[in-house]
Amino acid sequence: MSSPVIAAPAWTIPEFLEVKDRRLSINGTDALKLVQEFGSPLFVFSESRIRTNIDRLKHAAATVDRPIRFFYASKANSNMAILRTVLDSGIDVEVNSGGELFKALRIGFRPDQIIFNGTSKSNDELDEAVRAGIHAINVDSVFEIGLVEESVRRIATERGAAARPARVTLRLVPEIGTRSHLGLQTALLTSKFGISSSEVLDAFRRGLQNPDLINICGIHIHVGSQTPDVEPFTEAFRSMWEHLVTIHRETGHTLEHINLGGGIPVNYLRDNSQADQLPEHERDMLGADLEPSTVLTEALRVARQSARQKGAEQLLDRITILLEPGRSVIADAGLVLTTVLNMKQRPETGDVWLLTDAGYNLMLSMNNYKWYYHLISASRASEPHESEYKVAGPLCDSGDVYFDIERSGRLPDYRKLPANIQPGEILALLNCGAYSLAQMFPYNGRPLPAAIITREDGSFDLARRRDSYEDLLTGDIW
């Protein structure tokens, strides 16, 4: 008699996240074995999943007839092992600070593979970018154009040579809303980013005043992160395209590239067994399934239509499109393994509480945005996840819980896990590769955890060593 075929849980991803011997297996390695060897909590990243995500972007690029360049948004995760994987995958990098620029150069990105965003770049940071000669500095205000010019003059003096123009892109804020969290929307006039539409032409005129100091090479809009719909992308692309044509007509200057930013969403609800507890807009946003090829195809369709109407097809045929994907490269390639350290049952409410060693100091967005990370038992991955628990981290803060303490329903009140979970059991928070490791902090004197990267051949390497108590003293002077 053949044994019944049991469907794989919806969170599984073949050859990456699987159930083997009833436990969670990550690229063929037993999750519990990793915790035994490297301790808990533990970040685990998958090299093959990062490559798959990048291949998906490259395939999308192949579906359109303009050259596309991807600049990985390193703010999503700038661990050096992750940057090396991205570099080896053949795409470029976006940085948001002198520190990220330093890391990108150190890992081996060539300057012409780097672009630099930021609202508040210091003179030192601008000097570092100008000195390196990066592909583009994305300028965030008219004032900053002058700062870049001064930086170019400083570097020319430092070298005792003629100024070499810096490549500059203007970042616009065209008032485009998305259905993401407000804190993740960056193209609204109420946001702190960019140059508004009414200022654009003057900003370009200003940027073109000193061609010996700056070369205005592109235009940029990032509508925000986790953007569930294609429309904001097409609207942004149309806006940049139309500005590009106007600038050409008014000044004769031709821009080389249009930068559509990041924001391609990740489906955090591939396992949607708890999704019915989330409000509809949250479900739509977290469960978004927007293909990068759709974004590119639609953006170019709209631009091509406009180009025909304006008789400007020759301009469109000369541009390169840049994208700055972060989340879509790394989010579902990372997870956190955490141990249940304590439990209690409240007689008054009947709630069973599980207290883990992974707090919001590891995943700030769990607290900031009440971001949903699907939770499973790594120890008993094959068992039905139908028992309800209140789950919380270890921090001395009532907000360090895996539900929405403010009761606005942005997270499920209870997490569903196998029956009778006991201390010592290993749980896994899935899809937490983006904006986690890069934002973690040692609150409550908690040494930061280790991170592992699993390799395509089934081996794994340490990507970050666990901090010691001594590391907690780094920088303190007494």
Ligand X SMILES: Cc1ncc(COP(=O)(O)O)c(C=O)c1O
Nearer to ligand X, 45 or 389 (CB): 45
Asked if 433 interacts with ligand X (CB under 6 A), we say no
Instruction: Considering only the stretches 257-265, 387-395, 456-464, 465-473, report the one whose residues sit in contact with ligand X under the rule CB under 6 A.
Output: 257-265
Asked if 135 interacts with ligand X (CB under 6 A), we say no
Site string for ligand X, 85-124 (x = CB under 6 A): ---------x----------------------x-------
Among 194, 207, 263, 394, binds ligand X (CB under 6 A): 263
- Look-up of token digits 């489906």: 267
Nearer to ligand X, 261 or 359 (CB): 261
Site string for ligand X, 276-315 (x = CB under 6 A): ----------------------------------------
Among 324, 357, 400, 425, binds ligand X (CB under 6 A): 324
Give the full edge-to-edge strand order of the sheet including 23-26: 17-20, 23-26, 29-30
* Rounded distance between C-alpha atoms, residue 156 and residue 64, angstroms: 40
Among 13, 42, 44, 76, binds ligand X (CB under 6 A): 76
Nearer to ligand X, 49 or 390 (CB): 49
Nearer to ligand X, 53 or 225 (CB): 225
Nearer to ligand X, 93 or 450 (CB): 93
Tokens of 345: 């049952």
Strands 195-196 and 214-220: unpaired
One-letter amino acid of 88: D
Helix (H) or strand (E) holding 258: strand 257-259
Among 185, 225, 356, 436, binds ligand X (CB under 6 A): 225
Asked if 259 interacts with ligand X (CB under 6 A), we say no
* Rounded distance between C-alpha atoms, residue 110 and residue 162, angstroms: 23
Asked if 365 interacts with ligand X (CB under 6 A), we say no
One-letter amino acid of 402: Y
* Rounded distance between C-alpha atoms, residue 376 and residue 389, angstroms: 12
Q: How big is the site for ligand X, counted in residues (CB under 6 A)? A: 17
Among 261, 292, 334, 393, binds ligand X (CB under 6 A): 261
* Rounded distance between C-alpha atoms, residue 72 and residue 56, angstroms: 13
**46-to-261, 320, 329, 410 alpha-carbon distances in Å:** 24, 30, 11, 28
- What phi and psi, each to the nearest 5 degrees, are found at residue 337? -95, 130
Asked if 436 interacts with ligand X (CB under 6 A), we say no
* Rounded distance between C-alpha atoms, residue 456 and residue 453, angstroms: 10
Grouping H, G, I as helix, E, B as strand and the rest as coil, residue 298 is: helix
Interface positions with ligand X (CB under 6 A) = 73, 76, 94, 117, 186, 222, 225-226, 261-264, 324-328
